[in-house]
Amino acid sequence: MEIILIQDVPRLGSKDDIVEVKDGYARNFLIPQRQAVVATESAKKVLSENQRQRAHKEAKLKEEAQAVAAKLEGLKISIGAKTSTTGKIFGSVNNIQIAEALKENGFDIDRKQITIKQDAIKEVGKHIAKIKLHREVYFELEFEVVSE
């Protein structure tokens, strides 16, 4: 039986794949669990239309993310932190402070999209954070931690 997967199924396929499975597996498990639908001609047409629309929306989102990355290109961010005389930071600098610094510069980026190469920054100097703007668009932001 030919079916269209509604969600990812381990060892079978990913969402929107058209796969061939045994009749009993489709009727007794996949369809009742809402993991698949029967691949009729009308369901295939709906699937192709949905994929076309999704591809258009995805391209638009990717283009917007690339535009944000281009704006971030020349941005210099410095984050102030209280430090000891040796340059060690009391506490640490994390993605929350980077997100706040970006917000001050006019970029509304969620802190969950920002990852720092180290777990927490505990020293003054230049560091790099990776920002996920889109599933395929990443930007490496160089920022500096300065002593207050």
Given 65, 86, 119, which residue is the final one in a domain?
A: 65
- Residues contacting 72, CB < 8 A, separation 6+: 107, 131, 139, 141
Closest CA to 47 of 3, 11, 9: 3
Mode of pairing for the β-strands spanning 77-81 and 138-147: parallel
Q: pLDDT tens digits, residue range 106-132? A: 999 999 999 988 777 888 889 999 999
At residue 5, the pLDDT reads 95
Q: Which of 12, 46, 65 is the last residue of a domain?
A: 65
Rg of the chain taking only CA atoms, in angstroms: 23
Query: Whole-prediction pTM value?
Result: 0.68
Number of structural domains in the chain = 2
pLDDT value for 147:
87
Whether 40 has a pLDDT exceeding 80, the answer reads yes
CATH number at residue 77: 3.10.430.100
Q: What is the pLDDT of residues 11-32, one digit of tens each?
A: 999 999 999 999 999 999 999 9
